[in-house]
Amino acid sequence: MNLTLKIWRQDNPETKGKMVVYPMSNVEGDMSFLEMLDVLNEDLINKGEEPVAFDHDCREGICGTCSLMINGEPHGPDRLITTCQLHMRKFNDGDTIVIEPFRATAFPIIKDLVVDRTAFERIQQAGGYISVNTSGNTVDANAIPIEKEKADEAMDAATCIGCGACVAACKNASAMLFTSAKVSQFALLPQGRVEATDRVLNMVRQMDLEGFGNCTNTGACEVECPKGISLENIARMNREYMSAIVKG
């Protein structure tokens, strides 16, 4: 395939960015999207030009770092995949592909297609954990009976990889789906009930402090989520939050 890439280039957070056009030829359909960018960067380096900076790590759909806006969609035109799992056969010969970083005030651009998503880490640190005494007094988790339905729902919520597609898809740049998944994975389990009140209050407070917007109720976050995290988690977090407010 012969393609035209329009890629956002920005040296650092302080400089003004711009779209730069790169023609690509002989792109194989079996290439992953990131492999295609690797080929582009190899060509740029051979020409003595600056390669395009983009985030990646596992390239197995696990880590969530390979977050790109491709033709206006987080992770591109396919569903339930990350960018590293997107293959070039999803595109046609002669296509123009626009590649941008995730756009959100809470995700400031570092360079080119790389954004700073440590806001998610701070939300997680605010309450996305269970305080346990591990000094020789640990209890086997399997010793606590849990309904299979609840265990399955908790596992579904825990599959969130924190890629930020939900934020990029939302016109308000809301982090409700991410935060609710992290709240839900504990709210559904008996181990998580002990700190449930503080957890939801602290995580929602941190989410607001980071500058994420409010939920739009349009469902774009669920559609673009590579792990299919359900909107039901947002409803659950809202219930948890209201309960926590009532408890004071």
> Token pair of 74, please?
């987080």
3-111 carries CATH number 3.10.20.30: yes
The token pair that represents 52 in the structure block:
């395009």
Strand order of the β-sheet with 96-100 is 18-24, 3-9, 96-100, 69-70, 73-74
- Phi/psi of residue 129, nearest 5 degrees: -160, 170
DSSP string, the chain: --EEEEEEE-SSTTSPPEEEEEEE-S--TTSBHHHHHHHHHHHHHHTTPPPPP---S-SSSSS-----EETTEET-SSSS--GGG-BGGGS-TT-EEEEE----TTS-EEETTEE--HHHHHHHHHH-S-----SS----GGGS---HHHHHHHHHHHT-----HHHHHSTT-B-HHHHHHHHHHHHTSHHHHTTHHHHHHHHHHHHHHTT-B---SS-HHHHH-TT---THHHHHHHHHHHHHHHH-
What's the pLDDT at 14? 94
Return d(Cα 121, Cα 110) in angstroms, integer: 17
Q: What is the pTM of this model?
A: 0.94
Q: Give DSSP secondary structure letters for 101-121.
A: ----TTS-EEETTEE--HHHH
Q: Which of 171, 156, 159 is nearest to 217 (CA)?
A: 171
C-alpha 61: how far from chain center: 11
Pick the CATH number of 117-247 from 3.40.50.720, 1.10.1060.10, 1.10.10.60, 1.10.10.10: 1.10.1060.10
Task: Print pLDDT tens along the chain (248 aa).
Answer: 999 999 999 999 999 999 999 999 999 999 999 999 999 999 999 999 999 999 999 999 999 999 999 999 999 999 999 999 999 999 999 999 999 999 999 999 999 999 999 999 999 999 999 998 777 777 776 788 899 999 999 999 999 999 999 999 999 999 999 999 999 999 999 999 999 999 999 999 999 999 999 999 999 999 999 999 999 999 999 999 999 999 87
Give the CB-side neighbour count of residue 73, counting CA atoms within 13 A: 18
Cβ atoms of 53 and 112 within 8 Å: the answer is yes
Tens digits of residue pLDDT in 40-62: 999 999 999 999 999 999 999 99
Quote the CA–CA distance of 179 and 213 in Å, as a whole number. Answer: 12
Structure tokens at 87: 């293959």
Q: Which residues pair with 24 in a beta bridge?
A: 3
Domain regions of the chain by residue span = 3-111, 117-247
